[in-house]
Structure 1
Amino acid sequence: MKKLFLSIATALVSLFSMGCSDNGTGWTPDMIPDDPVTPETPTGKTKKAPLYWSVYEYGRRAEIAGTNCNMPLETWQKNIDWVADNLLPYGYDMICTDGFMTMSGSDNAGHAYMTGYANIPLTQLVEMCKAKGLRLGIYDNPLWVHGSLDAPIEGTKYKVRSLLYDPSKDNVKNPNATGDIFTWIVPSHSGAKEYIDGFFKYYKGLGVDFIRMDFMCLFEDGIRGGDGGGRGYGSAEYKLALQYIKEAATKYGVFTSIVMPNMKNHGENETQYCDMTRIVDDTCEGGWDHCSNRWRGNITIDQWPAANNQFEGFIYWSDITGRGKIIADGDFTLIHSFDTDDECRTSISLQLVAGGPIAVADQYNTVGDRVKFYQNEEMLALNADGFVGKPLTTDYNNENSQIWWGTMSNGDVIVALFNREDRTISRGVELSQLGISGTMKCRDLWTHTDEGEVSKVSASLPAHGCKVVRLSKQ
């Protein structure tokens, strides 16, 4: 039944919703990004966007083909080996599960949480990754139930079944819904806080410190982009869930990634309680469509997904990101899906300049010769630094939203010029516009060349191209 639930859920991911246009406020000099000190995690490490590999492409392709979505063990090993050899040396230190594949719990009445993925014990996947110097990240949700409903909740007198929807006392948004595609718990029920705490304690005990929590819009409203999907437990229950999640995740040192959130009131709950949040619709088949073109110029307010392409997601939500703030997640990258090398460079640059993660979804046998775009150490230095840039305007219909900049922790300045158009475009920005007097030494991070002293960064950019430079006074 769990596999059926996930098949239904992942089918929803292929649907999109149109929204109304919403203009930004424009850029003024007082919007110059600052660099507050980034808070430390309980482990003492500074939080930054993760660099990792996901099983997404395998599952997505199998779903479309109508074949078994569970990745065979030998394919797991080939992908893990490829990541260890080609990505781990550049900082991509994690393998992460996703939807599509079987998420199984134990029949043991004493266990409530997921124990297997793709019909492989989680403990085995952890060891396979560990043997190659990698971590395992998990796609799961502490509001889902995978195991026995008769499992006792540690530290309480309750069993898991007492956390399920009770029509006699729970007010939901869609009471006439026939049911939910997931088995959700209700956070306000007694024992829910302890159940969520036990979820993070369990995964930390396995050696997992990254959890990707999906379909939050379905929990909150019972809909995704206007399409039905369940009862909808409301914003109060959603906020309470996030409070419990943050408390437990902080306690056990687990990084939380929220997926498909409604981001109501401009993300007031997500920004308060989450480490990272998705800000764009699903990758699907990737390419320039997902990066820039999909329903360009439309933002939907207070409903998932707000943005349908990465550019508009990063632009629109750039006012809530920054050092020590929530990380914006642009979803998975399929570098082999782009038509040109210029598009590849733009995809990687946009995500790193915006302070987002790079979640590689290409496989060992699909990436071709494009792994090099994931290996640019001068660009990856932005991620290591915790850099988060900003566009000159949050108006995604204004060409200045295609000029980004920000400051590294050592005072160096990053400037990125993008071209979303289908023709060659000239872009430029005077350093004085950024509050910088005089000139700075300029280095192009893709050509790896020094360009001397400049008072302006400019370029003639090919269609879908970019230029990213690092400016230094040294």
Structure 2
Amino acid sequence: MAISRRALLASGGLISVATALELADPAYAATVRAAAAPHAATSAAPLARVSRNSPWTRSGPGPLYWNIYGWSFPHNAPIPEDEWKANIDWLASEFAPSGYDMACTDGWIEGSSRTTQHGYITSYNDSWTHDWTYWAAYLARRRMSLGVYYNPLWVHRAAVEDPTKTVAGRPDVKIADIVDHGDFFARDIGGNTLYWVDVTRPGAREYVQGYVEYFKAMGVPYLRVDFLSWYENGMDANIGQVNAAHGRANYLTALHWINEAAGDPMEVSLVMPHLFDNASAELANGDLVRINADADKGGWDRLSGGRQGWQDAWPNWFNPFCGFTGWSHRAGRGQLILDGDFLRAHTFATDEERKTAVTLMTIAGSPIAIADLHSDIGSTGWVFTQPEVLDLHRKGLVGKPLYYNGTPYSVDPGSRDSERWAGQLPDGSWVVALFNRDDTATVDKALHFSHDLGIAGAAQVRDVWARRNLGVCTEARATLAPHACALFHVTPQRPTPRFHAAWAAWGGGANFNNNHAGYVGSGFVDKLEAGGDPGDPLVTFAVQAPRAGTYAVRWRYANGLTVPSTMTVSSERADRTIVDGPRRVTFPSTTTWDSWQDQSSQLRLEGGLNLVTIGRGADDAGSINLNWMELQLG
């Protein structure tokens, strides 16, 4: 009897894994039970590598695209090729002009058994007439691209059982040689079986990296790699032990291989990761990570409902509101793009809920992935094409929730506010999003410009969804009905742009805090000290310079040590090429951590977007707390 793994996930564990495995293969069920490993909470020694730090993450948010999920999930089946084509043609006409320039496949992939001589599947499904290259070209002619869902660690049984199939670059290694014949990802799904690659075997690296390069050669810019938690320790939080654990070390090896082969041209989306060790493995090797459970049937319950607490396994948080809030310390330029999964606009009950869904994805820097179909979207597609909302996405917006303290959200659910968000754009202006997640009560929500954002004086405020200027204000405020939101663009009146560390991107253990007095705004960044994890601690600001030249920069900081501290400062383009630096800046002692001073330095910037990074390098000394940086334009 074939058991769909998608059905298992959708069941929420109503079908026990023991029952499912017994039905599928009693002997294998016994093997899995014997191989069950303890929960992996700490990493093995990491591979020698640096963070991927790709141009995709450095650009800010995730892509705009359409995905087949809205057809395949309700049908629990692969999308037919004629339905795929109809939706691509609709996408090209209705959404590509607004920037949704990619069509991506998703799961239900077991039925693709036709492979190349190296074991790589040639199309999404055996029922399709055309292969990947045909559809990549079809999309390219319409100025769009093909995104592919597939895990390079999967091997179809058809390739394993064909002795003529050999590993790319290794004619001495048969495809059958790189799998353990009892190690299945999906067994007997409609007569199809997928194995996991054994990364310890000769030829495994060439197979995995060849798979990535196979898709790259077609011009595929986006690869979604799924079921990573199942590979790492074989555990699913809803089901239990689903397959044999491969271990942390092998998981790191596999991610590193995929990362290395993808390089900068391909954006790698890591789906269903446990995100152990504060997402260190995923940060080093991926561009996007899924931070919540599947979109499923869509609607408000999947956006805001379900389990509200954290668990130490995928999905750490159930809904995107909690997932974005909980992982916001890992988001931002050069860090990770947080993926809130697909949106099906027609499944929401009201236009206010639709606006809330798109606003949340926008302020969090998520991909906005349409999963509605040409046949079911009706009159709801407008929510994906509001030009001022999309302009914020294009400008690289990645915001954060308001932080109340420096304790992780997984430890203290009161440490961050999932209903009040803000982020800074490279020109120094702000975006504020306010939400009402309550099901019954109408509430007032506000962010105060001085107290919460550190804006000196008043600011011009524009209601983005209403496309209406609200005048000069000292706060962003809205009265919100249940499930409603408000989105504001806030432009400070002072001419000198000030960029606040508490709302910037943090790396290497740098983190929010407010446990010392004297700062401006909601808080500051601390842990700019030795021993960052992972990597050296840093803060990255996206800064728009009006012209190329050398600028005076002011840093607001505290140094409670008795001696000066040094930090390394640099400016770079989004493609990682250096504009200036690294420069060492000295920060004299301020005597106590409650005392703050300004320190000046100079930095050359390119006209347009620059990524300005300040952090504690290996040769720096001491530590500082950082409140803001200010760019002197005069």
So what's the TM-score if we normalise by structure 2? 0.65
Give the corresponding residue for 2:457: 438
- AA aligned to 2:328 is S
- Asked whether 1:468 is paired with 2:487, we answer yes
Give the corresponding residue for 1:300: 311
Q: Deviations over 1:339-390 (max 9, x none)?
A: 1111110000001100100111000011110100000111112221221100
Residues 214 and 258, structure 1, Cα contact 8 Å, conserved in 2: yes
- Asked whether 1:245 is paired with 2:258, we answer yes
Residues 9 and 181, structure 1, Cα contact 8 Å, conserved in 2: no
Paired residue secondary structure (1:231): coil
1:215 Cα offset (Å): 0.7
Paired residue secondary structure (1:359): strand
Alpha-carbon separation, structure 1, partners of 2:348 and 2:327: 24
Once superposed, which parts of structure 1, at least 4 consecutive aligned residues long, lie more than 6 Å away?
none
Paired residue secondary structure (2:434): strand
Give the corresponding residue for 1:344: 354
Alpha-carbon separation, structure 1, partners of 2:302 and 2:94: 25
Alpha-carbon separation, structure 1, partners of 2:413 and 2:378: 33
What is the correspondence of 1:264-303 to structure 2 with a 5 Å cutoff? 264-295=276-307, 297-301=308-312, 303=313
- AA aligned to 2:457 is G
Larger strand fraction of residues: 2
Residues 431 and 489, structure 2, Cα contact 8 Å, conserved in 1: yes
- Asked whether 1:333 is paired with 2:343, we answer yes
1:77 Cα offset (Å): 2.1
Paired residue for 1:401, among 412, 418, 423?
A: 418
- Asked whether 1:258 is paired with 2:270, we answer yes
Unaligned runs of 5+ in 2: 15-52, 185-191, 404-408, 494-634
Give the corresponding residue for 2:443: 425
Alpha-carbon separation, structure 1, partners of 2:347 and 2:492: 38
- Asked whether 1:152 is paired with 2:166, we answer yes
The verdict on how the C-alpha distance between 1:142 and 1:76 changes in structure 2, with shifts beyond 3 A counting, is same
* Percentage identity across paired residues of the two chains: 34
Unaligned runs of 5+ in 1: 19-37, 64-68, 173-179
Alignment RMSD: 2.4
- Asked whether 1:313 is paired with 2:330, we answer no
Paired residue secondary structure (1:435): coil
Residues 60 and 337, structure 2, Cα contact 8 Å, conserved in 1: no
Residues 323 and 387, structure 1, Cα contact 8 Å, conserved in 2: no
Residues 103 and 116, structure 1, Cα contact 8 Å, conserved in 2: no
1:397 Cα offset (Å): 4.9
Paired residue secondary structure (1:165): strand
- AA aligned to 1:82 is W
Alpha-carbon separation, structure 2, partners of 1:195 and 1:305: 29
Give the corresponding residue for 2:6: 10
The verdict on how the C-alpha distance between 1:47 and 1:411 changes in structure 2, with shifts beyond 3 A counting, is closer
What is the correspondence of 1:30-45 to structure 2 with a 5 Å cutoff? 39-40=54-55
Paired residue secondary structure (1:429): strand
1:405 Cα offset (Å): 0.5
Q: Deviations over 1:394-446 (max 9, x none)?
A: 45457833100010111110111111012111011211121111011111110
Alpha-carbon separation, structure 1, partners of 2:6 and 2:193: 10
Residues 246 and 273, structure 1, Cα contact 8 Å, conserved in 2: yes
The verdict on how the C-alpha distance between 1:83 and 1:425 changes in structure 2, with shifts beyond 3 A counting, is same
Residues 391 and 403, structure 1, Cα contact 8 Å, conserved in 2: yes
The verdict on how the C-alpha distance between 1:287 and 1:83 changes in structure 2, with shifts beyond 3 A counting, is same
- Asked whether 1:129 is paired with 2:142, we answer no
1:107 Cα offset (Å): 5.4
What is the correspondence of 1:193-232 to structure 2 with a 5 Å cutoff? 193-225=205-237, 226-232=239-245
Alpha-carbon separation, structure 2, partners of 1:202 and 1:397: 46
- Asked whether 1:454 is paired with 2:473, we answer yes
Structure of larger gyration radius: 2
Q: Deviations over 1:202-226 (max 9, x none)?
A: 1112221211111111111112115
- AA aligned to 1:327 is I
Alpha-carbon separation, structure 2, partners of 1:448 and 1:207: 38
So what's the TM-score if we normalise by structure 1? 0.85
